[in-house]
Amino acid sequence: MAEPRLRRSMLMTPGNRPDRLRKAAGYGADCLVFDLEDSVPPPAKPAARDTVAQAVRELRGRRAELCVRINSLASGFGADDLAGLPLDLVDSIMVPKVESAEGLLQVQSVLEALDCDRGRVRPLELVVMLETPRGILQALAIAQACGRTTALFFGSGDYTAATGAAISPTTLLFPRSTVAAAAGAVGIQAIDAAYFADVRDAPATRADAQDARELGFAGKVVFHPAQVAVANEVFSPTAAEVERAQRLVAGYRQALAEGHGTALADGVFVAIDLVIPAERLLRRAALVRERDGASSYPT
């Protein structure tokens, strides 16, 4: 499998707003998500499909990942969305309201019938949305159903609407943990829901993102440009974290060279279980350096 994409911030933009689609590329998000689902009313979906296809053609070659959120197949719009997109230019497809492995495999079948990987270096990827209680409870089966899936996205809005729960760190702990665990079990990313309460409240956005990062999430979907920089900051390793990871990895490798399976580094007993996340953090830091340019990270 290819190295995971950097998805600290995934900026969702309505697919029926060509002005916003073009502006979205200038806000520094790692991924641009062009939305054909909730933000587009049914009568406008065919025109939005054309608008998104044109935006993909215009923005291809930028540094950001290009992702399109389609409608579900059950809605009657999803298959037409896939058929109407320049799939050879799209990096990933966001699939909404997935509740079963079978439902996701249906999407894969449509993509393969469209020969979606023709001419591509890297296969078309899926970002799978788990937004309902049923989807959350089927998280592991869904995560391992399709090799195209490189991320699970937790959608808190529909989940809390179905359960009657408030949106808070306490009520979101179970679904967030479930999504992170399922993603970790199959070695893919977990992406958290957008922060809705006040998109211009940077401290609150940061606190919400930090809660998600502590649970193992790799990034956030955001709905407002003001949230992009905050998400990028929170989901980037700090210089101190990079330095510590380098020392842990170096100490462990030295121990192996000396015939030992464990080491003591920074006062921490280091075995392979700590080295794996340290190496993952260093790979992520390298992606951040590549994406953002100069940084204070040690080399």
Q: Is 131 annotated as a binding residue?
A: yes
CA angle 104, 107, 112 (to 5 degrees): 130
Per the CB < 8 A criterion, the answer to whether 111 and 151 are in contact is no
CA angle 122, 127, 131 (to 5 degrees): 175
Per the CB < 8 A criterion, the answer to whether 34 and 13 are in contact is yes
What the block records as the tokens of 180 is 């992170």
Distance CA 87, CA 116 (A): 6
Distance CA 215, CA 212 (A): 5
How far apart, in Å, do the first and last CA atoms of the chain sit?
26
Q: Which amino acid is at 174?
A: F
Q: Is 279 annotated as a binding residue?
A: no
Task: For residue 186, count other CB atoms closer than 10 A to its CB.
Answer: 14
Per the CB < 8 A criterion, the answer to whether 237 and 277 are in contact is no
Per the CB < 8 A criterion, the answer to whether 247 and 59 are in contact is no
Distance CA 275, CA 250 (A): 9
Q: Is 134 annotated as a binding residue?
A: no
Handedness of CA 169, 144, 150, 109 (dihedral sign): negative
Binding-site residues for substrate sit at 69, 131
Binding-site residues for Mg(2+) sit at 131, 158
Binding-site residues sit at 69, 131, 158
